[in-house]
A and B are shown apart, each in its own frame.
Chain A
Amino acid sequence: MTKDWPLWEVFIRGQYGLSHRHVGSLHAPDAEMAMLNARDVYTRRNEGMSIWVVPSADISASAPSRKGPMFDPSNDKTYRHPTFFDIPDEVGSM
């Protein structure tokens, strides 16, 4: 077999009001075929109403080894959550 076609990541909007979600990937020679194949593979049962296909090579991802420096800083900032603050019951909902 010849070399693999480019890899595409497939994102689908399930219904109006929701964002597109990553559902999987596929190989295709160009965007048009990627779109058609995504339709056939990932929306056979009404799963979607809008599709994005993105060349996988164009995605920049955070490295798992950088997980600490990337995400730890938010761990100790519990004041960013509303539940950090005790509001007396008599104040009512806030």
Chain B
Amino acid sequence: MYAQTVQSTGRKVKSLEEMSDQERAFQARIDAGEKIEPKDWMPDGYRKTLVRQISQHAHSEVVGQLPEGNWITRAPTLERKAILLAKVQDEAGHGLYLYSAAETLGVSRADLIDDLLAGRAKYSSIFNYPTLNWADMGAVGWLVDGAAIINQVALQRTSYGPYSRAMVRICKEESFHARQGFDIMMKMVAGTAAQKAMAQDALNRLWWPALMMFGPPDKDSVHSAQSMAWKIKVMTNDEGRQKFVDQTIPQIEYLGLDVPDKAARKNPKTGHYSFVDPDWDEFFAVLKGYGPCNADRMLARNKAHDDGAWFREGLLAYAEKQTIAAE
């Protein structure tokens, strides 16, 4: 999802017998559905896995502003522009909630941001795909935020208190994102044949990358078991993906568009759709930095950070001057 390949301990999940008394008491709290709070004792692996997951999630929110920020100045109406601006502003806020949650685990935000800017940190593969035209703003809000909601609604039940509370806030705001996207799509399909074709094209291009958002198939997801045992993760990658497909295909049909996956069929017995997996080689290549926009995103993020340096320094100088004046 927004954190697609979070390394956990890399070891097999310990059985209750193998755990120390402290670890066993901790696992019992998790199993009882208790939330873990920052000052509570926690296994080192739990802390490290959480830092990786929450920081990847935060970086995704921040980098996720770029594909849409690209279209703020070119929105077709003032209303659409105001809506898109509000959405992108929300993403910045989501990044902040998540960095705050990560910081409660004893890491510094400056270090996390340094990791992102230096290209050492991961963020969701989806944001390394380009947004080529206005229909992409519809498809991104509808599909990308729609996929994110599935993951984030589940994560409200995550075991770490600050992460869970950040998810509650984010979920409240996220459904505006998905709905404004679907609204754009409804407008596009009700337009001219050329506009409807744009909507179809955006859907075709973003369908597979949206499926990749949930991360690799469970069978290849080496770190999931420990994260699930600790309830850092509460839904498997395949479960999320299935849910997304089941919820999205009827919406595609409502729009009168074609499902990009021609083989997708509803199983009348289970109520679930069958679907073709995305190209996992492409997914891993994008994560490694070889997606269509990885370099652009990092360039834009570094430029924004560097361009803002004088302002941050000015604020700090002013605050220091005020402190000296007060003394």
Contacts and interface: CB of A to CB of B under 8 A. Distances in A.
Contacts of A41: 93, 96
Interface in B10-56: 37, 39-41
A14 B95 CA distance: 23
Contact of A24 (B90, B100, B113): B100
A2 B110 contact: yes
A30 B322 contact: yes
A61 B315 contact: no
A39 B188 CA distance: 35
- SS class of chain B's interface: helix, strand, loop or mixed? helix
Interface string B288-327: 0000000000000000010000001101101100110000
A29 B319 contact: yes
Interface string A1-44: 11111010000000000000000111101100100000011001
Nearest to B117: A1
Nearest to A1: B110
- SS class of chain A's interface: helix, strand, loop or mixed? loop
Interface in B64-93: 86, 89-90, 93
A2 B113 CA distance: 11
Given A44-B90, A63-B39, A64-B40, A1 B319 contact: no
Interface of B: 37, 39-41, 86, 89-90, 93, 96-97, 100, 103, 108-110, 113-114, 117, 165-166, 169, 173, 305, 312-313, 315-316, 318-319, 322-323
